[in-house]
């Protein structure tokens, strides 16, 4: 009996990891001595194992609260196996819990997001006259809100834990989490010993605030960094729109060999590749994942699909998607949105059907993809039906992006009045994408009366977005109303609105080359401009007429032509042409909407050079092949 006291428990005995421990001569309860039981509990591999030990203890009438260590260990073991109810039952059955059990209970509910319960336990501890210790504070701080955090901070100081490394780390984390940079900074600066965790929390705080410089300088100062520190810094660059910085840091991480990148690092870095259009770097990371035998789970696969799609390679995106295991809604959404962005509306809708057949619920993102797909494929009735079913069947409230798709759908189909009415009646404020879709529809269908009406309305609305002014000016220019153009231009001047600088990039040999309009900073500038002139000559001999009316500056005709020739897209294309073999497709990335002249010119360039040119602008992808574009000239 003494050799196998647990043999009668329901689970098979071989599940116990150390049955030999039970052969130790038992104490007076017929059980191994408490310290042996303690190490058995600590070594438990499953909740069944914990249950067996617990059952044996109960059968031998061992009152757990007489053995605080076992009590605490059982509580923690249940919590670590996510059996919160069992672990709290132990807490509640203990007549007068000590500070360790209180702290453990607070920690358990904190990490499971039961904030109110954590505070309740803390209040109970105070009313039971138990003095909190460093574990109590660090546990409760994990779950505090701004207000309760301040109160706990006061308790910390009053109880003399103001310079405890463990507790102050919790405070920095609290203030970082709640976005209170000043307080986080104050606690952090006074820390006698900055821990890895507190420094990482402070870096998180800086990146959340958008202060990359402070984050990076602290990062560089740290003597020791773990994978979380690297992830926070890399993700900071990605989230704040500095993907180049993220990629450089990732390379540095690999060069230092320790720590090894984990799933979070790879997802953040792939997202950076997608943002900047760094296809070659993205491919390299894909190969790295395979070589290191990192599991290609749904999260990593989805990041790869997103990267390939945003880098303009839809084929690669699809082949990763096909092999993605246990696809969730995010995985399906990513592929549906990818198809829509690239203008493959029918494929996106086919995939949407397939997604519904798997029983997954569509989300608001799914519908952005679906409505975009309809807009790009010109499926008016279907689009309207989806818009209705999104609200009525799935209870998803339309956001500005959904309205954007709908307006674009209506505008493209020539239902301009209806689109305009809808924009005016929306409860959400319309954005540039919406207005430009509407104005684009007016241009496409030659409805300049409505176009002008919208323009007047917008001028009266005190808009400050430079994109809208550019659209307005184009609107007037395309009907030859140069008074209108001048009016818009003067208004921009008066309001001090600057046109957002356009930046185009192209990735050659694993390096992303960025160009601004008229840029001469590139080391091969001479050759680039020679190519620009060559292209212009070929375009002209094909009968191409530059769309000078879109130039906003007050210039002469030939200067306007020259200013169009050096738009950032054209410089990036020229660089791509001189650095790649004939026939190689070019992938260009533009931060703004591609302008009419660049769109027209790129169509012709694809024909003259026999190159496929994939261009991503702010709204969508354009695939230029043999003189035409996949967007059907509506974007
Ligand atoms: Zn342009
Ligand atoms: Zn296009």
Q: Which residues pair with 504 in a beta bridge?
A: 515, 590
Overall average pLDDT of the 64-71 stretch: 77
CA of 153 to the centre of ligand 1 (A): 56
State whether 618 and 517 are in the same domain.
yes
CA of 621 to the centre of ligand 2 (A): 7
Q: Chain-wide mean pLDDT for the chain?
A: 86
Q: Is residue 211 part of a domain?
A: no
CA of 632 to the centre of ligand 2 (A): 6
State whether 524 and 595 are in the same domain.
yes
Name the domain boundary from 96, 113, 138.
96
How much is the pTM? 0.76
State whether 531 and 446 are in the same domain.
no
Q: Is residue 128 part of a domain?
A: no
Q: Is residue 283 part of a domain?
A: no
| Nearest ligand, CA 621 | 2
State whether 471 and 510 are in the same domain.
no
DSSP 512-581: EEEEETT---STTHHHHHHHHHHHHHHHHHTT----GGG--S---HHHHHHHHHT-HHHHHHHHHHHHS-
CA of 600 to the centre of ligand 1 (A): 9
Q: Which two tokens stand for residue 321?
A: 């998607």
State whether 439 and 537 are in the same domain.
no
Say whether pLDDT at 22 is over 60. no
Name the domain boundary from 57, 74, 96.
96
Question: Each residue of 127-174: pLDDT tens digit?
Answer: 999 999 999 999 999 888 888 899 999 999 999 998 888 899 899 989
| Nearest ligand, CA 547 | 1
Q: Is residue 17 part of a domain?
A: yes
Within a 10 A sphere around the Cβ of 93, how many other Cβ atoms? Answer: 12
CA of 43 to the centre of ligand 1 (A): 66
Phi, psi of 354 (to 5 degrees): -60, -40
Quick check: 259 and 287 in contact, CB under 8 A? no
Question: Each residue of 383-435: pLDDT tens digit?
Answer: 999 999 999 999 999 998 899 888 888 988 889 899 988 888 888 887 777 88
Q: Which two tokens stand for residue 228?
A: 């979380």
Say whether pLDDT at 16 is over 50. no
491-519 burial, b if ≥16 CB within 10 A, otherwise e?
Answer: ebeeeeeeeeebbbbbbeeeebbbbbbeb
State whether 520 and 620 are in the same domain.
yes
State whether 575 and 514 are in the same domain.
yes
Q: What is the pLDDT of residue 147?
A: 87
Overall average pLDDT of the 189-200 stretch: 86
State whether 470 and 547 are in the same domain.
no
Phi, psi of 104 (to 5 degrees): -65, -40
CA of 559 to the centre of ligand 1 (A): 15
CA distances from 546 to 539, 600, 603 (A): 9, 9, 13
State whether 405 and 480 are in the same domain.
yes
Q: What is the pLDDT of residue 101?
A: 93
Overall average pLDDT of the 321-345 stretch: 94
The three-state secondary structure class of 605 is helix
CA of 564 to the centre of ligand 1 (A): 6
CA of 269 to the centre of ligand 2 (A): 29
CA distances from 548 to 64, 73, 473, 573, 586 (A): 86, 77, 12, 20, 26
| Nearest ligand, CA 548 | 1
Residue 443's CATH number: 1.25.40
Question: Each residue of 599-609: pLDDT tens digit?
Answer: 999 999 999 99
CA of 489 to the centre of ligand 2 (A): 27
CA of 596 to the centre of ligand 1 (A): 7
CA distances from 39 to 33, 44, 62, 66, 101 (A): 10, 9, 17, 18, 18
| Nearest ligand, CA 565 | 1
Give the integer Cα–Cα distance in Å for 408 and 635. 9
Name the domain boundary from 96, 124, 155.
96
Helical ranges in 293-395 per DSSP H: 298-310, 314-323, 329-341, 345-357, 364-377, 380-392
Structure confidence at residue 634 as a pLDDT band (50, 70, 90) = confident
Q: Who's near 69: CB < 8 A, 6+ residues apart?
A: 34, 38
**How many structural domains does the chain have?**
3
Q: Which two tokens stand for residue 634?
A: 């509506």
Give the integer Cα–Cα distance in Å for 105 and 71. 12
| Nearest ligand, CA 616 | 2
Q: Which two tokens stand for residue 371?
A: 């409505």
Give the integer Cα–Cα distance in Å for 328 and 345. 21
CA of 287 to the centre of ligand 2 (A): 32
Say whether pLDDT at 578 is over 90. yes
CA of 596 to the centre of ligand 2 (A): 9
State whether 10 and 91 are in the same domain.
yes
CA of 155 to the centre of ligand 2 (A): 62
CA of 208 to the centre of ligand 1 (A): 34
CA of 546 to the centre of ligand 1 (A): 10
CA angle, residues 517, 522, 525, in degrees to nearest 5: 85
CA of 601 to the centre of ligand 1 (A): 9
Give the integer Cα–Cα distance in Å for 559 and 115. 65
CA of 481 to the centre of ligand 2 (A): 26
Q: Which two tokens stand for residue 301?
A: 């696969």
Q: Is residue 29 part of a domain?
A: yes
441 lies in which domain range? 400-495
| Nearest ligand, CA 570 | 1
CA of 566 to the centre of ligand 1 (A): 8
Structure confidence at residue 8 as a pLDDT band (50, 70, 90) = very low
CA of 18 to the centre of ligand 2 (A): 68
Q: Is residue 146 part of a domain?
A: no
Q: What is the pLDDT of residue 14?
A: 33
Overall average pLDDT of the 231-245 stretch: 92
Judged by average pLDDT, the poorest of 266-270, 432-436, 545-549, 550-554 is: 550-554
State whether 472 and 530 are in the same domain.
no
CA of 601 to the centre of ligand 2 (A): 11
Q: Who's near 467: CB < 8 A, 6+ residues apart?
A: 432, 436, 500, 592, 593
Q: Is residue 162 part of a domain?
A: no
Question: Each residue of 496-527: pLDDT tens digit?
Answer: 877 778 889 998 988 889 999 888 999 999 99
Using the structure block, give the residue that is written with the tokens 């116990």: 16
State whether 459 and 576 are in the same domain.
no
Q: Which residues pair with 589 in a beta bridge?
A: 505, 616
CA distances from 459 to 254, 453, 468 (A): 52, 10, 10
Q: Who's near 66: CB < 8 A, 6+ residues apart?
A: none
Q: Which residues pair with 515 in a beta bridge?
A: 504
CA of 453 to the centre of ligand 1 (A): 26
| Nearest ligand, CA 569 | 1
Q: Is residue 182 part of a domain?
A: no
Quick check: 137 and 170 in contact, CB under 8 A? yes
Instruction: Identify the residue with better confidence: 380 or 457.
Output: 380
Instruction: Identify the residue with better confidence: 298 or 62.
Output: 298
CA of 604 to the centre of ligand 1 (A): 14
């Amino acid at each position: 009996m003494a050799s196998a006291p647990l043999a009668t428990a329901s689970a098979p005995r071989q599940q116990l990891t150390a049955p030999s421990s039970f052969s130790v001569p038992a104490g007076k309860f017929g059980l191994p001595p408490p310290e042996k039981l303690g190490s058995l509990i600590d070594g438990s591999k499953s909740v069944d194992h914990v249950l067996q030990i617990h059952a044996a203890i109960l059968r031998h009438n061992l009152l757990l609260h007489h053995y605080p260590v076992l009590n605490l260990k059982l509580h923690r073991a249940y919590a670590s196996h996510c059996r919160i109810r069992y672990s709290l039952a132990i807490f509640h059955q203990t007549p007068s819990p000590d500070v360790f059990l209180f702290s453990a209970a607070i920690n358990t509910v904190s990490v499971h997001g039961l904030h109110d319960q954590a505070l309740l336990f803390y209040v109970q501890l105070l009313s039971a006259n138990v003095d909190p210790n460093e574990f109590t504070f660090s546990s409760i701080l994990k779950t505090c809100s701004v207000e309760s955090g301040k109160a706990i901070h006061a308790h910390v100081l009053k109880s003399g834990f103001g310079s405890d490394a463990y507790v102050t780390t919790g405070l920095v984390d609290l203030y970082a989490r709640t976005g209170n940079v000043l307080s986080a900074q104050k606690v952090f600066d006074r820390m006698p010993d900055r821990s890895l965790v507190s420094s990482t929390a402070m870096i998180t705080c800086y990146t959340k605030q958008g202060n990359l410089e402070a984050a990076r300088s602290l990062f560089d100062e740290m003597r020791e960094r773990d994978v979380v520190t690297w992830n926070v810094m890399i993700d900071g660059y990605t989230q704040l729109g500095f993907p180049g910085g993220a990629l450089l840091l990732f390379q540095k991480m690999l060069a230092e060999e320790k720590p090894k990148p984990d799933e979070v690092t790879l997802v953040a870095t792939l997202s950076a590749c997608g943002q900047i259009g760094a296809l070659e770097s993205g491919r390299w990371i894909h190969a790295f994942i395979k070589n290191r035998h990192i599991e290609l789970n749904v999260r990593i696969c989805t990041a790869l699909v997103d990267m390939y799609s945003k880098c303009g390679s839809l084929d690669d995106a699809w082949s990763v998607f096909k092999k993605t295991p246990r696809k969730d809604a995010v995985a399906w959404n990513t592929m549906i949105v990818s198809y829509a962005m690239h203008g493959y509306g029918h494929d996106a809708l086919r995939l949407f059907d397939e997604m519904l057949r798997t029983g997954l619920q569509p989300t608001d993102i799914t519908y952005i993809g679906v409505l975009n797909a309809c807009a790009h494929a010109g499926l008016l009735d279907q689009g309207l039906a989806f818009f209705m079913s999104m609200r009525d069947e799935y209870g998803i409230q339309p956001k500005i992006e959904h309205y954007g798709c709908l307006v674009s759908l209506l505008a493209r189909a020539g239902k301009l009045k209806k689109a305009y009415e809808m924009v005016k009646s929306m409860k959400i404020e319309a954005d540039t994408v919406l207005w430009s879709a509407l104005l684009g529809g007016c241009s496409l269908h030659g409805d300049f009366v409505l176009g002008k009406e919208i323009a007047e309305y917008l001028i009266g609305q005190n808009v400050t977005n430079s994109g809208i002014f550019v659209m307005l000016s184009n609107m007037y220019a395309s009907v030859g109303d140069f008074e209108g153009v001048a009016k818009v231009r003067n208004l921009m001047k008066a309001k001090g609105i600057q046109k957002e600088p356009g930046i185009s990039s192209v990735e050659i040999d694993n390096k992303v080359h960025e160009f601004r309009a008229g840029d001469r900073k590139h080391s091969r500038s001479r050759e680039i401009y020679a190519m620009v002139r060559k292209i212009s000559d070929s375009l002209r001999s094909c009968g191409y007429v530059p769309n000078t009316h879109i130039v906003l500056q007050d210039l002469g005709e030939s200067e306007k032509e020259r200013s169009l020739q050096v738009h950032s897209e054209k410089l990036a294309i020229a660089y791509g042409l001189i650095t790649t073999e004939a026939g190689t497709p070019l992938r260009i990335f533009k931060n703004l909407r591609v302008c009419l002249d660049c769109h027209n010119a790129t169509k012709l360039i694809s024909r003259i050079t026999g190159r496929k040119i994939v261009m991503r602008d702010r709204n969508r992808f354009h695939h230029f092949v043999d003189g035409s574009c996949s967007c059907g000239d509506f974007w």
